[in-house]
Amino acid sequence: MSLRELARRAHCDPGHLSKVANSHKPAAPHLAAILDDALAAGGVLKAAAAAPVLAGRRGRAERGWLTRGVVTFADVEAVAEITGTFRGLDNKFGGGHAHMLAAEYLESNVLPMLRTGIYKEEIGQRLFGVAAQLAHLVAWTAYDMDDHRRARMYFTRALELASAGDHLFGGEILAARSHHAIHLGDPVKAAEFARATQQIAHKAAVPALLAEAYALEANSHALLGDARSCASSLLEAELAFRRSDPDAAPVWLRYFDEGYLAARFAHSFRELGEWGEARRYARLAADALGLAAGLQSRRIVRYIGDVRKRLLRHHPKEAAVTDFCERATKLLGAN
């Protein structure tokens, strides 16, 4: 399934995607028309025009391109660096700390740069790519905060931007959509997104992304109670992961390691009621409770709360369960 088709299913006009993707030399009027159509309904452009430019070093960079009217590689790399800073905040403290800062920066600085800036083709492609990564981060942090309407909106926007700037990163966005659909209890849609990610990963020959896609597909099968298909997808995920090289993976995929894959395996076995296998893979993953302490993430807190309830239901008198539940209550305020 193409990015164009997935965007259509995500309530995004596919015509916008084809116009952007087939444009070899982005020009300000053309981009303005596309982004006006895509964003004006939500009042984003109005907010962007009224919002102040962020202060400090990055503020001086944006004023530079506004003064010149021309976007340079230095301007684009500044966006990439700032996005990395927001990603670091998200990884360390959770989506609640990073979301509004990242969203404001996207809407008040980066989207106007895309719309009104003048740039060469190679700069435009890089700009669309880093903008897609920023929009993806905004979507993910909204998801982290349980704001699923905003998460869907920004995932769709990220997919539009990636279609013009970084087709491979579009696969990562589709994987995130699959993850989101699993979380919302829609395994059919989750499987569609996962298979679309597989197509992109196969074509680009990126085993780590392929492993992620198969693991997400396995989660979808598990939610549907299809143990045989789940096992098949888990096997493909493991085989793809064995072929992956962490040093060769894109920077935005470096998080996908053995611990992350083990956690996804544990999720699948848990949904199938295979508690022994779920326990084995969960032990390979990180200490989630310790990592979750201090994070502003409603999603993580709910995950811990779900584990707590399941443990109390099945093993209410186990000392280890009592200890875990006490730690969860102390660290996260889990009920």
pLDDT 10s digits, 210-240: 999 999 999 999 999 999 999 999 999 999 9
* 18: pLDDT strictly greater than 60: no
Q: Look at the block and give the residue holding tokens 């905060």.
A: 145
More confident residue, 246 or 129: 129
Predicted confidence band at 26 (pLDDT cuts at 50, 70, 90)?
very low
Eight-class DSSP state of 55? P
d(CA 265, CA 282): 8
Helix (H, G, I), strand (E, B) or coil at 118: strand
Q: Considering the chain, what percentage of its residues have pLDDT values greater than 70?
A: 66
Cβ(210)–Cβ(240) below 8 Å: yes
* 92: pLDDT strictly greater than 60: yes
Q: What is the pLDDT of residue 17?
A: 32
Q: What is the pLDDT of residue 108?
A: 93
Gyration radius (Cα) of the chain, Å: 21
187-204 vs 207-223: helix crossing angle, rounded to 10: 160
d(CA 215, CA 178): 10
d(CA 105, CA 329): 35
Phi, psi of 70 (to 5 degrees): -115, 130
Predicted confidence band at 97 (pLDDT cuts at 50, 70, 90)?
confident
Cβ(309)–Cβ(321) below 8 Å: no
Considering only 90-94, 119-123, 209-213, which range has the smallest mean pLDDT?
A: 90-94
- Contacts of 200 by beta carbon, 8 Å cutoff, 6+ apart: 167, 168, 170, 171, 174, 209
Max mean pLDDT range (121-125, 276-280, 288-292): 121-125
In the chain, the domains with their CATH numbers are 1-165 (no CATH), 167-286 (1.25.40), 296-335 (no CATH)
Predicted confidence band at 79 (pLDDT cuts at 50, 70, 90)?
very high
pLDDT 10s digits, 239-289: 999 999 988 989 899 888 888 898 889 889 889 988 787 777 766 657 555
Q: Which residues pair with 282 in a beta bridge?
A: none
Distances (CA, A) of 166 to 124, 161, 213, 306: 11, 8, 18, 36
Burial class (CB in 10 A: 0-12, 13-18, 19+), 316: exposed
pLDDT 10s digits, 101-114: 999 999 999 999 99
Query: In this structure, what token pair is assigned to residue 119?
Result: 């740039």
* 198: pLDDT strictly greater than 70: yes
Distances (CA, A) of 251 to 90, 169, 219, 247, 255: 16, 11, 25, 9, 9
Helix (H, G, I), strand (E, B) or coil at 70: strand
* 16: pLDDT strictly greater than 50: no
Kindly state the average pLDDT of the residues 23-46: 37
Helix (H, G, I), strand (E, B) or coil at 294: coil
Considering only 56-65, 167-176, 326-335, which range has the smallest mean pLDDT?
A: 56-65
Quickly count: other Cβ atoms within 10 Å of residue 53's Cβ.
16
Predicted confidence band at 312 (pLDDT cuts at 50, 70, 90)?
low
* 40: pLDDT strictly greater than 70: no
Buried b (16+ CB within 10 A) or exposed e, 11-29: ebebebbebbbebeebeee
Q: Look at the block and give the residue holding tokens 């020959």.
A: 205
Q: What is the pLDDT of residue 94?
A: 77
More confident residue, 86 or 277: 86
Cβ(154)–Cβ(194) below 8 Å: no
Q: What is the pLDDT of residue 192?
A: 97
- Contacts of 139 by beta carbon, 8 Å cutoff, 6+ apart: 150, 151, 152, 153, 154, 155, 157, 158, 176
Phi, psi of 118 (to 5 degrees): -110, 125
Distances (CA, A) of 209 to 38, 69, 289: 28, 37, 26
Q: What is the pLDDT of residue 303?
A: 56
Considering only 21-30, 172-181, 183-192, 266-275, which range has the smallest mean pLDDT?
A: 21-30
Q: What is the pLDDT of residue 27?
A: 33
